[in-house]
Amino acid sequence: MKLGIVGLPNVGKSTLFNSLTKAGAESANYPFCTIDPNVGVVAVPDERLGLLSDMYHSAKVTPAVIEFVDIAGLVKGASKGEGLGNQFLANIREVDAIVHVVRCFEDPNVIHVDGSVDPLRDIETINLELIFSDLEILERRISKTVRGARNDKTLAKELELLERIKAWLEDGKMAISFTTDDEDEQGWLAEYNLLTRKPVIFAANVKEDDLADDGASNAHVQAVRKYAQEYGCEVFVICAEIEQEIAELDDDEKSMFLEDLGLTESGLEKLIKASYRLLGLISYLTAGETETRAWTIKKGTKAPQAAGKIHSDFERGFIRAEVVNYQDLLDCGAYATAREKGLVRLEGKEYVVKDGDVILFRFNV
């Protein structure tokens, strides 16, 4: 999974990226200090892996990972090449979802590019740039399609779709809220890779004082939540400065630090949960002496396709899956015991994999 971290300059975007990935992107109180997209790979925290590894005495533990891309600061006019706009827009096309950092704190020492704190205005600024960029893509596609549409029914149908989406965007609406039941149209939409079709998670960046009540008393956060609810986006509250401190601590110190702040999880954990929910992802597990590992798949994936995540041969030659629930396996203390109790099931090609399934695939190529 690849997430692009975006936001206007000085909203805490690079500070958040640094704390999430410990990758040390330069962070300063001026626009465009992040000129190249910085990339960091983060392990998805999953306590199940450690417990399974202990049971199997695994030589290696491999968690699922998320790739974060810190994308250069954006200003009005980015779609026309202002600031570092064109580069920003090219980098963001490659991500699965957008983490949009919005400033929800007042601080006279941190300059805001528009002179005041207003997260909804900031969201609107970035949305408009994404819309303008998508319109440019649609216009290029229209001029290419219009030539052949007179003599080709398929192209004529696509042209009609292009005109509908263009009108939708010109109305200030995001492509993610544009729906169609037509399979051809759904295929074309996916092909266009429109920025405004990407799912969005808002990171409401607050001061430390607003963390304990999860931003409930912060009017800016409430405004972002209301907006997100309307557009089917996720929101999580974070203090980028605190996350930076957490990043420097070991696990025991981190737990104590979070407890002192009245928190049960870090911002990274909140973000991962939000992104899994938004993208409809789950993890299944494989375990053995060689390796215990988490595999990320889409909710609703059937056993052969889940096996294909490990290797294409597993999917091609799929015979069956031996499946046991993680908690059942843990309670039994050993795979053999779980099997004796009838908790290990043999599942075929139609089995839909569930979060926390521990699976052994049987295949023959």
Mean pLDDT of the chain: 87
Cβ 281 vs Cβ 1: under 8 Å: yes
Around Cβ 81, how many Cβ atoms within 10 Å?
A: 11
If one compares 82 and 343, the residue with the highest pLDDT of the two is 343
Separation of CA 219 from chain center: 26
pLDDT tens, 132-154? 889 989 999 999 999 888 889 99
**Distances in Å between the alpha carbon of 77 and those of 95, 129, 132?**
22, 7, 9
Residue 28 confidence (pLDDT): 44
Q: Given this model, what pLDDT does residue 250 score?
A: 81
Q: What torsion, rounded to 10 degrees, do the Cα atoms 36, 86, 118, 214 define? A: -50
Of the chain, the percentage scoring pLDDT greater than 70 comes to 88
pLDDT of amino acid 67: 84
Least confident of 38-42, 61-65, 156-160, 194-198: 38-42
- pLDDT value, residue 48: 94
Q: For the ranges 66-75, 195-204, 284-293, 326-335, which has the lowest average pLDDT?
A: 66-75
In the numeric block, the tokens 């690079």 are attached to 14
Rounded Cα distance between 221 and 204, Å, is 6
Averaged over 225-250, what is the pLDDT? 89
Assess contact for 15 and 244: CB atoms under 8 A: yes
Residue 215 CA to residue 173 CA, distance in Å, equals 27
**Nearest 5 degrees, angle CA 7-CA 18-CA 250?**
140
SS (H, E, C) the chain: CEEEEECCCCCCHHHHHHHHHCCCCCCCCCCCCCCCCEEEEEECCCHHHHHHHHHHCCCCEECCEEEEEECCCCCCCHHHCCCCHHHHHHHHCCCCEEEEEEECCCCCCCCCCCCCCCHHHHHHHHHHHHHHHHHHHHHHHHHHHHHHHCCCHHHHHHHHHHHHHHHHHHCCCCHHHCCCCCHHHHHHHHHHCCHHHCCEEEEEECCHHHCCCCCCCCHHHHHHHHHHHHHCCEEEEECHHHHHHHHCCCHHHHHHHHHHCCCCCCHHHHHHHHHHHHHCEEEEEECCCCCEEEEEEECCCEHHHHHHCCCHHHHHCEEEEEEEEHHHHHHHCCHHHHHHCCCCEEECCCCECCCCEEEEEEECC
pLDDT tens digit string along 9-62?
878 888 888 887 775 444 444 333 444 557 788 888 888 999 999 999 999 999
* Res 211: pLDDT: 87
Q: What pLDDT does residue 80 have?
A: 60
Rounded CA gap, 292 and 27, in Å? Answer: 36
